[in-house]
Amino acid sequence: MKKVVSIRDIAEMSNVSVSTVSRILNNTGRHSKETEKKVREAIALKKYHPSILAKGLRTNTTHSIGILVPDITSEFFSSITLSIQNTLFERSFMTLICNTNEQPSIQTKHLEMLRNNRVSGIIFISGENITEEDLSDGIPKVFVDRLPWNAKSQDIISIEVDNFTGGLLATEELLNSGCKRIVTLFEGRGLSTQVARYSGYLQAYQNRELQVAHELYQPVKQISLSEGYEVTKRLIKSGVSFDGIFCYCDLLACGAMHALTEAGISVPGEVKIMGYDNVSPSRFYKPSISTIEQPVWKMGSLATELILQLQDEKEPVKSHHLLPVKLIRRETTCGSKTAEVQNE
């Protein structure tokens, strides 16, 4: 096996000290142009690559950021992750992407590994299960999408979208399309995103002085196309009267539409549907699904900006950032093919 070239090898070849090579690599301290030329030539000849790990052991940190994501297969979460990774790459930072599968125990193990790898910061995408111990380990952290519900500390840097307005816009779109009894397909875990969207739903009803029947709230166990299908299928069999469905996300909306079509219920003729997130299926399904768009790329780039400010020991100007949403009106509420309408 070929021996890995070390900084000591470069120093011996250049006839200088290890500290001199280190100063040249890091552009610190004084050295002559002749010395730098010798060192650079040795580095090129030996194809030497500085060890980030070794540097991390000396400085107690590495040029890397950990990203904790609940489901990397989700287009919504993966788009935020990609935005973060692209922006960090431009800043010469490495990313360590950790999929938690929505499991607190897996998240805990990933956190421990990230600490052991001395990451410079951690970005949580929808990481609601956070302890005070997690917050007080000294590693800079930014929270994106969901807020940590079980952490008492309010001293966190977070990015949310305006989910209340998103829920309000989605429900108003259904009401304006003639719906009176709008079912909600939401997760039952009390997520900050769900609570805000459902509050917007209730506000839209209140604005029109309409009552919300308790049977219209249909909790789902997980976010998946199959779960949207199964819950809607049971809803149809139950005999509950409804003419609209507001889904927590587009995947649930796709599943709901499958169940309605299978039962011979016309969309949007008899039942209208609103999704959330504006992921690819919502656009290409037939009929195309009206939805609420979240600014995923802005969420990712802002998270990167904030984590780098913290890594540089600069406190961000704002601790909480609220980003706007957009209504995307499509066939499941309009009835005929129309151009997308973005609510500014």
| Cβ–Cβ < 8 Å for 254, 221 | no
Judgement on whether residues 288 and 301 belong to the same structural domain of the protein: no
Same domain for 99 and 186, yes or no, is no
Rounded alpha-carbon distances, angstroms, from residue 199 to 67, 169, 211, 251, 327: 29, 11, 14, 21, 17
Q: DSSP string of 63-128? A: SEEEEEES-TTSHHHHHHHHHHHHHHHHTT-EEEEEE-TT-HHHHHHHHHHHHHTT-SEEEEES--
14 assigned to some structural domain? yes
With a cut of 90, say whether residue 292 has pLDDT above it: yes
Residue 37 has pLDDT above 60, yes or no: yes
128 and 275 fall within a common domain: no
Residues 312 and 289 in one domain: no
Structure tokens at 244: 């609209």
Same domain as 99, residue 177: no
**Residue 232 belongs to some domain of the structure:** yes
Asked if 251 and 266 sit in the same domain, the reply is: yes
In a domain, 344, yes or no: no
Q: Output the average pLDDT for the chain.
A: 87
User: One-letter amino acid identity for 147?
Assistant: L
Longest dimension (CA), the chain: 86
pLDDT at 29 over 80: no
Percent of the chain with pLDDT over 70: 87
- Is residue 57 domain-resident? no
Domain identity same for 194 and 304: no
Nearest in space to 244 (alpha carbons), one of 181, 309, 189: 181
At residue 41, the pLDDT reads 78
Predicted local confidence at residue 1, as pLDDT: 52
| Domain coverage including residue 202 | 163-294+327-334
Q: Evaluate the omega torsion of the peptide bond into residue 148 and state whether it is cis, within 30 degrees of 0.
A: no
Q: How far is it, in rounded angstroms, from Cα 158 to Cα 310?
A: 12
Q: Is the pLDDT of residue 50 over 80?
A: no
Which of 27-31, 67-71, 123-127, 223-227 shows the lowest mean pLDDT across its residues?
A: 27-31
Comparing 72-76, 145-149, 267-271, 277-281, the range with the smallest average pLDDT is: 145-149
**In this structure, how many other beta carbons lie within 10 angstroms of the beta carbon of residue 149?**
13
> Does a structural domain hold residue 343?
no
In a domain, 340, yes or no: no
Neighbour-count burial of 66, counting CB atoms closer than 10 A to its CB (0-12 exposed, 13-18 middle, 19+ buried): buried
Q: Is residue 2 part of a domain?
A: no
Q: For residues 151 and 253, state if they share a domain.
A: no
Q: What's the rounded mean pLDDT across residues 238-261?
A: 96
CATH number, position 306: 3.40.50.2300
Assigned token pair, 87: 């922006």
167 plus 289 within the same structural domain:
yes
Length of the chain: 344
Tell me how far apart the alpha carbons of residues 136 and 119 are, in angstroms, rounded to a whole number: 15
* Segment 203-223 mean pLDDT: 93
Q: How confident is the model at residue 16 (pLDDT cuts 50, 70, 90)?
A: confident
* Any domain includes 81: yes
Task: Give the chain's radius of gyration (CA, Å).
Answer: 26
Total domains present in the chain: 3
Band of the pLDDT at 339, cuts 50, 70, 90?
very low
Q: Say whether the peptide bond before residue 287 is cis (omega within 30 degrees of 0).
A: yes
HSE (side-chain half, CA atoms, 13 Å) at 193: 22
pLDDT beyond 60 at 60: no
156 shares its domain with 169: no
**Sign of CA pseudo-dihedral 239, 245, 249, 253:** positive
pTM, 2 dp: 0.81
Left, alpha or beta for 15 (phi > 0: left; psi -120 to 50: alpha)?
left
> Could you tell me where the DSSP H helices lie in the chain?
7-14, 18-26, 33-46, 52-59, 75-90, 104-116, 132-135, 163-176, 192-207, 225-238, 250-262, 280-284, 296-311, 331-334
Q: Is residue 289 located within the same domain as residue 234? A: yes
β-sheet bridge partners, residue 274: 246, 290
pLDDT at 344: 41
Whose structure tokens read 């301290």? 29
* 169 plus 226 within the same structural domain: yes
